[in-house]
């Protein structure tokens, strides 16, 4: 039996409101998840609502898993019938049952970002589009925005008529959707878009899910985009028992299509909405909350609220300033190390937050030199690694024979003497017959001029069909082991016999382990289900809370997390907020988005918050003189430690202004820590340039992708044939140019 006395007044009020729309404005650390759990339990225990009729939606797999666990504990028997899901997982479950109505097969594949780029690249080639003018990432971003707004290719084409550039994008969008459908594949935006399309075009399907989900709860509602808003609106329309939980002050995903207006205007969409504010914070000290409140109050487009706590005043905030990013990182490494060695904290108690991933490099460098263990969120995702994608491609082909992209990836992996010319002939045959690439492989004997390669192709098709036949008798991890052995993939890695090959094999073993866990935890394990779970996982979902390492991550990735000690770094105008925001056409809206991001960062801190800035920072290949961020200036002086208070400063966005340095000196009066510098001798002249082939003593032969000139050395980015992409300092790498034969 649940005890409502464990909740505060506002939390109880939210639990007891069970009929009609409810807007729960839940500030950071206000116990919103707890409220949702109690609300679900109250609906079942007191209101006698069937668990089958309850749907709870959140944004990340990690949050959904935690919610699932807590629901099971509080509700007990019958909790398994409650749908606890992310938006994407919810849509996948619905589409697996009904997508055939939209002309797809139920065993569809979900494409990741790399897959999408490959498709776009092919389309640009087909349409003779110059990718220097129309960059692939820009095309994909525009297509994604169209889907987020629920604009079909035809609708988008109508809207952009007369705009030559966007008309080109419209053609790409149309071809992109055709290609995905041909491959029986969906991207992440399609999962939402097609579910809404299904509901709008098939009322009987919509009615089934409206009757199924009579009580709907949505967490992080401030992060919803237009198509998510439409999806929830359609589902809740019949019974209107919709509870949305969010905080407009934490709306930070505008670049992904999130529309803060969805929460700000919720009462207009549902006029009889009950609004409850959760302002009591259970995470941070009052000093931290007063600082965060002071910053966010500078935003105009928000609902008024102010966080408070019974946790006590706590420590004042600390502001530190340094000559450059190297000093900033070195100091943080030294301070964290000192606190851990004194037994005051563990490494995992610390988080270093920054605006962009580019800022992480210097922290990684200094932490390595100081032997501070760390984990960076936002690097190469495990599932994006070549060997993992190779094995997943095999599984996709076994599961969905129409996925041409996956077939192309593995047709000659490991090498089986099926070259590009032969693949081109098969593809030409597929195009002429209007069939898929795999079907063309099955009919390879009909391909003109295929010659001796026919036996190799037939062997590959036989191998795939053998795996498919064994699928019903083999567990997924056993199937992966079969693929490794029978395809020759494992043997190829063994023959390489180097550390890199060993590391790749270890990654595959980790994938096998993941498959084992899935087999033991899934209600009805299936290959489609496993591929779906893998496709929907995010980098932050894999965060192991028992891992004793300092966390390095962007402010966006920090959303939903909390740490005893938080370092908010790079607090300079031009970095945070960025120059792009400051100089934008709609500058106020852009800076308000950045201020919300700052608020999110500040409210991650439980015990202590430190803000850091630098006088000069390397930006776009030049050392820029910067002034302290306006967000630091918005914190009342009395909330900082007296000796570290930032002085007021006259701001400028012109980095070359002759008086900027003097202004910066006034802003950064705190004494800077000057650690012993790590000496680097700059390679005076490089014998290679971008595009050249080079050799490395460990990684072998590769191609130079990029050379960046820094203050102390050149940073060289190389794509090694066997080791993949590596970044290194030229003076250390000692790369040798390899003359072309």
Q: For 677, phi and psi rounded to 5 degrees?
A: -80, 145
CA–CA distance from 12 to each of 9, 245, 268, 698 (Å)?
5, 15, 25, 62
Is residue 42 within 8 A of residue 15, CB to CB? The reply is yes
Nearest to 64 by CA among 88, 80, 84: 84
User: Bridge partners of 84?
Assistant: 56
What is the 3 state secondary structure string of 391-454? HHHHHHHHHCCCCHHHHHHHCCCCCCCCCHHHHHHHHHHHHHHCCCHHHHHHCHHHCCCCCCHH
- Which of 10, 11, 32, 612 is an active site residue? 32
Task: For residue 554, indicate whether it is catalytic.
Answer: no
Task: For residue 616, indicate whether it is catalytic.
Answer: no
| The token pair that represents 517 in the structure block | 């866990």
| The token pair that represents 305 in the structure block | 């609220």
Q: For 616, phi and psi rounded to 5 degrees?
A: -130, 145
Q: Torsion over CA of 178, 180, 185 and 187, rounded to 10 degrees?
A: -120
Is residue 135 within 8 A of residue 142, CB to CB? The reply is no
- Which of 250, 554, 603, 610 is an active site residue? 250
Which residues are within 8 A (CB) of 58 and not within 5 positions of it... i.e. 6 or more apart? 64, 67, 84, 85, 86, 218, 219, 220
Which residues are within 8 A (CB) of 559 and not within 5 positions of it... i.e. 6 or more apart? 250, 252, 600
259 half-sphere exposure, CB direction, 13 A CA radius: 13
**Distance between CA atoms of residues 190 and 54, nearest Å:** 25
Task: For residue 32, indicate whether it is catalytic.
Answer: yes
Cis before 577? omega within 30: yes
Sequence-ordered alpha helix ranges (H) in 127-217: 136-148, 153-159, 164-182, 188-201, 203-212
**Distance between CA atoms of residues 484 and 487, nearest Å:** 6
Q: What is the phi-psi region of residue 37: left when phi exceeds 0, alpha when psi lies from -120 to 50, beta otherwise?
A: alpha
Buried b (16+ CB within 10 A) or exposed e, 459-480: ebeebbeebeeeeeeeebbebb
- Which of 18, 33, 356, 427 is an active site residue? 33
Is residue 733 within 8 A of residue 686, CB to CB? The reply is no
- Which of 277, 409, 604, 625 is an active site residue? 604
Task: For residue 220, indicate whether it is catalytic.
Answer: yes
- Which of 10, 142, 189, 219 is an active site residue? 219
**Distance between CA atoms of residues 155 and 143, nearest Å:** 12
Task: For residue 219, indicate whether it is catalytic.
Answer: yes
Longest dimension (CA), the chain: 82
Nearest to 34 by CA among 53, 18, 14: 14
Is residue 634 within 8 A of residue 298, CB to CB? The reply is yes
SS3 call for 341 = helix
Angle between helices 476-487 and 499-521 (to 10 degrees): 150
- Tell whether the torsion through CA atoms of 35, 40, 42 and 47 is positive or negative: positive
* 109-110 vs 185-186, strand pairing mode: parallel
SS3 call for 167 = helix
- Which of 175, 190, 220, 290 is an active site residue? 220
Q: Torsion over CA of 207, 211, 212 and 214, rounded to 10 degrees?
A: 130
- Annotated catalytic residues are 32-33, 219-220, 250, 604
């Amino acid at each position: 039996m649940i005890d409502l006395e464990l909740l505060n007044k506002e939390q109880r009020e939210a639990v007891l409101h069970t009929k009609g729309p409810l807007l729960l404005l839940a500030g950071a650390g206000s116990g919103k998840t707890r409220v949702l759990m109690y609300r679900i339990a109250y609906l079942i225990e007191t209101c006698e609502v069937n668990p089958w009729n309850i749907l709870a939606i959140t944004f990340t797999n990690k949050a959904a898993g935690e919610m699932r666990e807590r629901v099971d504990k509080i509700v007990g028997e019958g909790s398994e019938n409650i749908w606890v899901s992310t938006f994407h997982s919810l849509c996948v479950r619905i589409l697996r049952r009904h997508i055939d109505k939209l002309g797809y097969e139920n065993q569809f594949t979900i494409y990741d970002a790399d897959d999408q780029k490959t498709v776009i690249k092919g389309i640009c080639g087909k349409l003779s589009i110059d990718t220097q003018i129309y960059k692939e990432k820009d095309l994909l971003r525009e297509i994604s925005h169209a889907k987020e707004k629920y604009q079909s290719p035809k609708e988008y084409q109508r809207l952009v008529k007369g705009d030559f550039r966007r008309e080109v994008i419209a053609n790409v969008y149309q071809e992109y959707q055709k290609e995905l459908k041909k491959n029986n594949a969906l991207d992440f935006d399609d999962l939402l878009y097609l579910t809404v399309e299904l509901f709008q075009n098939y009322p009987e399907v919509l009615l089934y899910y409206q009757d199924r989900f009579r009580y709907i709860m949505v967490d992080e509602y401030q992060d919803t985009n237009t198509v998510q808003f439409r999806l929830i609106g359609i589902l809740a329309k019949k019974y209107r028992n919709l509870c949305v939980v969010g905080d407009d002050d934490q709306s930070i995903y505008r670049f992904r299509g999130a529309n803060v207006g969805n929460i700000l205007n919720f009462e207009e969409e549902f006029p009889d909405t009950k609004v409850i504010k959760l302002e009591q914070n259970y995470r941070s000290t009052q000093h931290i909350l007063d600082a965060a409140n002071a910053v966010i109050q500078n935003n105009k487009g928000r609902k008024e609220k102010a966080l408070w706590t019974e946790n006590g005043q706590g420590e004042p905030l600390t502001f530190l300033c340094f000559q450059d990013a190297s000093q900033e990182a070195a100091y943080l490494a030294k301070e964290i190390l000192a606190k851990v060695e004194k037994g005051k904290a563990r490494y995992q108690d610390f988080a270093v937050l920054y605006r962009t991933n580019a800022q992480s490099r210097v922290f990684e460098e200094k932490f390595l030199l100081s032997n501070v263990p760390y984990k960076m969120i936002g690097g190469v995702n495990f599932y994006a690694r070549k060997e993992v994608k190779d094995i997943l491609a095999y599984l996709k082909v076994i599961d969905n024979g129409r996925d041409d992209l996956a077939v192309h990836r593995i047709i000659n992996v490991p090498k089986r003497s099926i070259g590009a010319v032969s693949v081109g002939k098969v593809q030409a045959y597929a195009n002429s017959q209007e069939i898929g690439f795999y079907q063309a492989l099955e009919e390879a004997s009909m391909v003109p001029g295929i010659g001796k390669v026919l036996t190799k192709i037939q062997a590959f098709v036989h191998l795939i069909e053998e795996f498919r036949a064994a699928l019903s008798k083999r567990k997924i991890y056993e199937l992966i082991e079969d693929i490794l052995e029978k395809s020759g993939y494992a043997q190829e890695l063994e023959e390489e016999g180097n550390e890199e090959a060993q590391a790749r094999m270890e990654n595959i073993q980790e994938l096998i382990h993941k498959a084992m866990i899935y087999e033991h935890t899934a209600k009805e394990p299936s290959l489609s289900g496993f591929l779906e779970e893998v496709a929907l996982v995010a980098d932050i979902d894999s965060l192991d809370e028992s891992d004793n390492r300092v966390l390095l991550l962007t402010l966006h990735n920090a959303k939903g997390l909390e740490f005893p000690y938080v370092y908010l770094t790079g607090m300079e105008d031009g970095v945070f907020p960025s120059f792009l925001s400051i100089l934008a056409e709609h500058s106020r809206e852009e800076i308000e988005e950045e201020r919300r991001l700052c608020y999110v960062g500040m409210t991650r801190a439980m015990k202590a918050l430190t803000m850091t800035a630098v006088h000069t920072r390397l930006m776009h290949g030049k050392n820029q003189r910067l002034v302290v961020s306006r967000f630091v200036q918005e914190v009342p002086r009395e909330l900082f430690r007296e000796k570290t208070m930032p002085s007021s400063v006259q701001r400028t966005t012109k980095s070359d202004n002759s008086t900027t340095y003097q202004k910066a000196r006034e802003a950064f009066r705190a004494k800077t820590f000057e650690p012993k510098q790590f000496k680097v001798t700059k390679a005076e002249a490089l014998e290679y340039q971008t595009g050249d082939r080079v050799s490395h003593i460990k990684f072998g032969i590769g191609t130079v992708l990029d050379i960046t000139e820094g203050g102390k050395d050149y940073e060289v980015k190389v794509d090694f044939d066997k080791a993949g992409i590596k970044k290194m300092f030229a003076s250390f790498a000692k790369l040798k140019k390899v003359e072309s034969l």
